[in-house]
Chain A
């Protein structure tokens, strides 16, 4: 995933779900995992290997970044690393959603005309 083509190329499901999970604010790894599960109605189950592997590539591509290391008041007293979207990450998410809208519009048009 190179910096140059990230905004144009279709995103992998894992990357899309992580961007979506971070679109409402910064989260730590476990928080992202829970949000992905909630966003996908339990269909996208992501383990730590997939989650952190994808996040590594996303950080390299400048889509997300570490924001802070602090305690999550809803959990234990361990400090956790939080991640947040960058401007490029938000742009990539918007471009992907636009692409989806285009595909849905084409599909709906064809189904409506019975092709």
Chain B
């Protein structure tokens, strides 16, 4: 009886110790580790051996693992941050070079900083989401969705600033739906597929509800623009649906 009480107490302490692992590792293996600990304790108890020595050894061994995994996690995080920072810098070269060669492209320094921060933030979001699943289609789906979302947000921001028409803010509802949908789906592929299809549908609805009467050239360009974004969001949804098939995921 006393051993059972001690076993329960040790299991609680071990669960607390496991909380020191990096979150991704804990989410993947925490439950299995706690079960294995419980199994080892039960094996010792059934053999009539005391638990103290075993628990002391496992706690020490697990603590070494915690240090190792945290070190690995931090260095991976550092490497990812560096890669994204350099990637964002490389992308920034496009508007930087363009501003030198394209007449009338006069961005102030603050705009370049803002663009760099947006590139970097988008890259970090990609890195954080894409590692949720190993399937290529999931990673591609995240990439397409983020590029399309970024382009939609940016072009709309520019358009709102130029036209000063607050009606254009309606496009942000597409991004809001994307954010809320991703949160509700907990980044699971099936839920993300539905979210992306919903975004494509809302954007198509906005395009249909636009007031007619624009000059033919403008109307054609707007139709093409909307069509491209609807196609990108739909493609991303299809990629997520592909990733959510039961046989995939690794």
Residues of chain A at the chain B interface (Cβ within 8 Å): 28-30, 33, 47-53, 55-56, 59, 62, 65-66, 75, 78, 80-81, 86
- Say whether B61 contacts A30, CB under 8 Å: no
Which residues of chain B from 39 to 71 have a CB within 8 Å of any chain A CB? 39-40, 57-58, 61-66, 68-69
Residue pair A30, B36 in contact (C-beta under 8 Å)? yes
Subset of 7 A-B contacts with CB under 8 Å? A33-B40, A48-B33, A48-B40, A48-B65, A50-B65, A52-B25, A53-B65
A30 to B33, CA, bound (A): 9
Measured CB to CB, the closest approach of chain B to A77, in angstroms, equals 12
Number of B residues with CB within 8 Å of any CB on chain A: 22
B contact residues around A50 at 8 Å (CB): 61, 65
Question: What separation, in Å, do the CA atoms of A65 and B69 have in the docked complex?
Answer: 19
Instruction: Report whether B32 and A81 are in contact in the complex, using a CB–CB cutoff of 8 Å.
Output: yes
**CA–CA, A75 and B36, complex, Å:** 12
Check B36–A56 contact: CB distance below 8 A.
Answer: no
B65 pairs with A52, CB closer than 8 A: yes
Q: Are A78 and B32 in contact (CB under 8 A)?
A: no
**Chain A nearest CB, measured from B216 CB (Å):** 53
Q: Which residues of B contact A48 (CB under 8 A)?
A: 33, 36-37, 40, 58, 61-62, 65
The distance from the CB of B172 to the nearest CB of chain A, in whole angstroms, is 38
The complex places the Cα of A24 from the Cα of B35 at a distance, in Å, of: 22
A55 to B66 Cα, complex, angstroms: 14
The 0/1 profile, CB within 8 Å of A marked 1, for residues 21-33 of chain B is 0000100110111
B22 vs chain A, min Cβ distance (A):
10
Taking a contact as CB atoms closer than 8 A, the residue among B32, B63, B64 that contacts A52 in the complex is B32
> For residue B68, which residue of chain A has the nearest CB?
A53
A residues within 8 A CB of B39? 30, 75
How distant is the Cα of A75 from the Cα of B39 in the complex, in angstroms? Answer: 9
Contacts of B28 in A (CB 8 A): 56
State in angstroms the CA–CA spacing of A66 and B32 once bound together.
11
B250: Cβ under 8 A from any A Cβ: yes
Which residues 59-118 of B sit at the A interface, judged by CB distance below 8 A?
61-66, 68-69
Set of chain A residues within 8 Å of B69, measured between Cβ atoms:
53, 56
- Check A29 against B32 for contact (C-beta < 8 Å): yes
Q: Name the one of A28, A53, A62, A75 contacting B32, with C-beta atoms under 8 angstroms.
A: A28
Chain A min CB distance to B44 (Å):
13
Residues from chain B with a CB closer than 8 A to the CB of A47 are 57-58, 61-62, 65
* Pairwise interchain contact B29-A55, C-beta atoms closer than 8 A: yes
The minimal Cβ–Cβ distance linking B114 to chain A, given in whole angstroms, is 36
Q: Is the CB of A33 within 8 A of B29?
A: no
Q: How far is the CA of A47 from the CA of B18 in the complex (A)?
A: 14
Chain B residues with CB under 8 Å of A51's CB are 36
Q: Is the CB of B61 within 8 A of A80?
A: no
User: Once the chains bind, are A56 and B61 in contact (CB under 8 Å)?
Assistant: no
Contact B65 A49 (CB under 8 A): yes
Query: Which of B25, B32, B64, B68 has the most A CB atoms < 10 Å from its CB?
Result: B32
Tell me whether A49 and B29 are in contact (CB under 8 A): no
Known: A30-B36, A48-B62. 19 other contacts (CB 8 A): A29-B36, A30-B39, A30-B40, A33-B36, A47-B62, A48-B36, A48-B37, A48-B40, A48-B58, A49-B61, A49-B62, A49-B66, A52-B25, A52-B65, A53-B65, A53-B69, A62-B250, A65-B250, A81-B31
> Chain A residues with Cβ under 8 A from B35's Cβ?
28-30, 78, 80
Contacts of B66 in A (CB 8 A): 49
